[in-house]
Structure 1
């Protein structure tokens, strides 16, 4: 295999880019013979470690993806031949990728699914996998998030999420659930889990928002691609609308976080607003009740309409959030509902809604941020400062953390 000699920094950059673009499909190829996701992830991680040692010294191979696949497969073969005495031996040196491996990489991208990551999301939405773990599994095995990040998204302890994923992978292995891309007729059944994973990917990476190759931009691309692939699925078009409209407002300058009410609508992307509204229209079905993503996209559309009207229709937001929590009472939707009710009706009512949330709220950063705002509106400044402080502690986004710390400082005056 030919190589291009590069610096260590460039080699690390190529490894990072390859991980982002190819991690999911490499895991799927490595897991295909046995269904052992954990072994696939472990051997691929070792291959990346070997790459970070070898590539800066010898140069990056012409086909980084194939190099990683070969190294990981060699390691798997070693483990299969002797599970004990060769477990800690060094990885074999990979010099080429077989024609069979190339064919498998190509075959993983069937013409009916234009993106390999999307194909793998449908693979991991297999109905034999427990519904509650499909989205976390997709986030880890295909989209590359670690269990701690996924745990924060679901407001559960990191250890509990890690164990949940381990059990799911064990079941996949034991039940020999096949890693096969479903036919078009089976995709609608698997669609809800795929949409949840794409939505979670966007939410987890919104701080890295933008078009192009940012994770949030890639999540939007996957949503739009899914909608176009299936053509007639309202919730797929609704998710495309939701992420496009949210992206249109993602214009916070530099490292400073700006809450929605402080953003200047003139800085929003009118092209993306028009595109998102077009997707939302395609999601509508006369006489059919809207689904969760249709309601969330409609909420985004109400916010984006401020770019035209100069005002926010809070009554419409109240109606939409009330409908949303009725059909999809997630922790996030209920906190957002409490925030809108607290602003439009009374802070006390909003606080009552927050108090009724399950105990998982304590690990959910937006809960504390909204509670701080409502307490401040009631003049309970000491309690508000405590809530803002707790919210800043839970935030993983430096810009959001700095904003919450400023809000706590301003409230304490």
Structure 2
């Protein structure tokens, strides 16, 4: 709902305040408008000059007449107007009370309206077709949940409360938006509602009875509000380092960041880590309980502690990119956000080679991204002329910054080097498979992740034999059965050996585990007899 706040003052106050006080009032109004903008609710604002310079157009006897000065001889004048987009009148009143004129003049709150319908004023709302409210809410949840949690937790220090109140705001949106229309700034609306829910919680008798005395003394403190933006230029990044606190179990730090700060649900995270969804959900619940019960401080670590906590933060950013991988061609997607965070943390810490390695890895992979929603093509079938040469050069620059003479490369440096080899096909026209075999062998020695070992087997199938590669796959732990790439690579290797029935079964399992429609369509085609015959011919 849009509300217009009209600020009135008297001529006497204009005469008695003086020029300096009036200038200070204008500065206060500018600061107030900036606050509304930061809250995401400002539609427009305008401070008006004195009514003595007004030009008035009036109609007398059907004829328009222009005169200088105000229309009415009144002692009260209109000094400014602000239009805000907030959920309800109570919220509008809350913001109106914070306006500087509320201390020395009058603030009129008037709902916007566009026409009369059945004898009643219809509120001014942003027009959206039926069903659009749910789609906007879903998009906000997918793209902005983590950012909004970061903003809410930054002002409270309470991670669980931030998540709970934001979830309540989304519930209210699904009721309010279909009825009243989608606000012009959905994220700002959600943030305002969630903050109001936080205030309601703090005022509740149950909270006052249960909160320890020291909590009551600290209520309203903002551990991240005083954050040095030059030191940590993104609040989500600051929260990632908070969630990497050593008191939180190592095996849950990265999943916690993915859910709490980056907005993925536990089922998506479970698939990425190849563990049952129930087990992952329990880990996350225990981690949040640990934060609450151990009263882990919600404070941004110093530079030295940031270096110590870097590994799980990089894992979370990488996990965000991997989970949002189908949309990596869209800079505004979560994959695009992950690349931005990777580059930001690399620049923040300056000399950390693995941070630069991750920035290089995500940039080089993004360089080969196709149009979001387009068909999936494996690397060897992609046309290098369509790759982004600017991003390739940028990624190679980051990879060069990651190098340290005499120091063994880490996981992300090796993965970035692998991507650089693939991207080099745009220059040479061929893929250097032996170089990839060497890099993957080094990668599984440094970081023997399930994904790295599956990729190593796939490259081995190219440089050695499909049978040797199958032996490598069979040596993987039982979690492989829940890992889609394992079944896809196994299907490819079996087809190369001419074992078409086994290959079809492997591809079917890969299809079942795939959530991306483009990849599912590709794998479904791969399992057809004609396609597998073509694959067998490439052994």
TM-score in same-fold range (> 0.5): yes
1:70 matched to 2:190? The reply is no
In 2, the alpha carbon distance for the partners of 1:14 and 1:104 equals 31
Matched with 1:319 is 438
The 1:71–1:8 alpha-carbon spacing in structure 2 relative to 1, beyond 3 Å, is farther
SS in 2 for 1:163: helix
Q: How does 1:234-253 map to 2 (within 5 A)?
A: 234-251=353-370
Q: Which position in structure 2 is the counterpart of 1:47?
A: 169
More helix by share: 1
Does residue 200 (structure 1) correspond to residue 319 (structure 2)? The answer is yes
Secondary structure at the aligned position of 2:502 is classed as helix
Find the aligned partners of 1:129 and 1:27 in 2 and give their Cα distance: 21
Contact 2:373 2:518 in 1 (8 A): no
Residue correspondence of structure 1 range 299-318 to structure 2 within 5 A: 299-318=418-437
1:166 matched residue in structure 2? 285
Q: Match of 1:92? A: none
- CA offsets 1:253-283 (integer angstroms, 9 cap, x no match): 8531101110001111000000000000000
Unpaired segments ≥5 residues, structure 2: 4-83, 86-123, 208-218, 534-539
Verify the 8 A CA contact 2:258 2:320 in the aligned structure 1.
Answer: yes
Inter-partner Cα distance in structure 1 for 2:151 and 2:136: 16
2:422, 2:431 within 8 Å by CA — same for their partners in 1?
Answer: yes
2 CA distance for matches of 1:61 and 1:253? 26
CA distance in 2, matches of 1:104, 1:54: 32
Cα distance, 1:68–1:14 mapped onto 2, change above 3 Å: farther
Q: Which residue of 1 aligns with 2:310?
A: 191
1:103 Cα offset (Å): 7.6
Q: 2:81 maps to which residue?
A: none
1:11-26 alignment, distance < 5 Å: 15=137, 19=141, 20-21=143-144, 22-26=147-151
Give yes or no for the alignment of 1:7 onto 2:7: no
Q: CA deviation at 1:70?
A: 2.2
Q: Give a deviation string over 1:218-257, Cα, whole Å, max 9, x none.
A: 1111111111111110000000000000001112685311
**CA–CA separation in structure 2 for the residues paired with 1:24 and 1:66:** 9
Q: Is the 8 A contact 2:321 2:334 kept in 1?
A: yes
Write 1 or 2 for the structure with the bigger share of strand.
2
Q: Give CA deviations for 1:60-95 in whole Å, capped at 9, x if unaligned.
A: 3874254133233045336x5237xxxxxxxxxxxx
TM-score (norm 2): 0.69
CA 1:326–1:263: 2 relative to 1, 3 Å = same
Residue range with higher mean Cα deviation, 13-22 or 124-133: 13-22
Is the CA contact 1:152–1:158 (under 8 Å) kept in the aligned structure 2? Answer: yes
Output the CA distance in 2 between the equivalents of 1:158 and 1:401: 21
Q: Is the 8 A contact 2:495 2:503 kept in 1?
A: yes
Matched, 1:157 2:276: yes
The aligned counterpart of 1:119 is 238
Alpha-carbon distance between aligned partners in 1 of 2:276 and 2:371, rounded to the nearest angstrom: 30
Counterpart contact for 1:133–1:165, Cα < 8 Å: yes
Q: CA deviation at 1:385?
A: 0.6
Unaligned stretches of 5+ in structure 1? 84-99
Counterparts in 2 of 1:6-405, with a 5 A limit?
6-7=126-127, 15=137, 19=141, 20-21=143-144, 22-26=147-151, 28-29=153-154, 32=157, 35=158, 37-58=159-180, 60=183, 63-64=188-189, 66-77=191-202, 81-82=205-206, 106-107=225-226, 110-251=229-370, 254-405=373-524
Q: What SS does the aligned partner of 1:225 have?
A: helix
Q: Matched residue of 2:527: which SS?
A: helix
- C-alpha contact 1:66 1:101 (8 A) present in aligned 2: no
Instruction: Confirm or deny: 8 A CA contact 1:241 1:280 kept in the other structure.
Output: yes
Q: How many residues align?
A: 393
What is the rounded CA distance, in whole Å, between the counterparts of 1:311 and 1:399 in structure 2?
26
Distance in 1 separating the partners of 2:206 and 2:492: 60
Does the 8 Å CA contact 1:155/1:360 hold for their aligned counterparts? yes
Structure with larger Rg: 2
CA displacement, residues 135-165 of structure 1 (integer Å, 9 cap, x when unaligned): 0000000000000000000000000000000
Structure 1 pair 136–254 and aligned structure 2 pair: CA distance change class (3 A): closer
In 1, Cα distance between the equivalents of 2:454 and 2:195?
Answer: 47
Cα distance, 1:112 vs. partner?
1.1
Q: CA deviation at 1:18?
A: 5.1
* CA RMSD in angstroms, aligned pairs only: 2.4
Higher relative contact order (CA 8 A, sep 6+): 1
TM-score (norm 1): 0.89
